[in-house]
Amino acid sequence: MDKNQEITKREDKNIEKTRELYEAIPAVDIYENEDEILLHADMPGVVKDDISVNIDNGTLSLSGVRKLASKGLANWEEFSDLEYIRSFSVPQTIDVEKVDAELKDGVLRLHLPKSEAAKPRQIEIKTA
C-alpha cells in the first residue's frame, strides 16, 4: 500500500458519520380546470423554509426536507430526517410568473395558472 492510500484511509476514520437522509416520494393529487392545474403534495413535517419548487424547461421539481429534533438518547428510532422529492412534466402553456404555492397542515398546494393562449375560448360564427 502506498503512502497516499494510507493517508486516505486514515482520514476516512476521522470523519464523523451523520444520520442518513432518506428519500421519499410524496403522494400527489393533480386537478385541472379551464384556468389552472392544481397540485396537492403530501409532505408531513416539512416547514415552508425547507421546501423548494422549481419550474424549468417544462419540468416541475418539488423537494422538501423534514428535520426531526431529537431529545435525549434514542433507544429505538423509526422516524428520521427525510427528503421528499418528485418531478413532473408540465405543459409549456403554464404562466410561470403567476404560479402560487401555499403550505397548510403538511400539504403543499400549487396553483399553476394556464396562459391566456392555452385557455379554451368560444369561437363566434359569422354569417355571410
Q: Give the cell for residue 106.
A: 403538511
pLDDT tens per residue, range 41-96: 999 999 999 999 999 988 999 999 998 887 778 777 788 889 999 999 999 889 99
* Domains, the chain, ordered by start: 31-69+77-116 (2.60.40.790)
The model's pTM is: 0.72
Q: Which of 4-8, 68-72, 79-83, 124-128 has the lowest mean pLDDT?
A: 4-8
What pLDDT does 70 receive? 76
For the chain, the average pLDDT equals 83
pLDDT(101) > 50: yes
Buried b (16+ CB within 10 A) or exposed e, 55-80: eeeeebebbbbbeeeeeeeeeeeeee
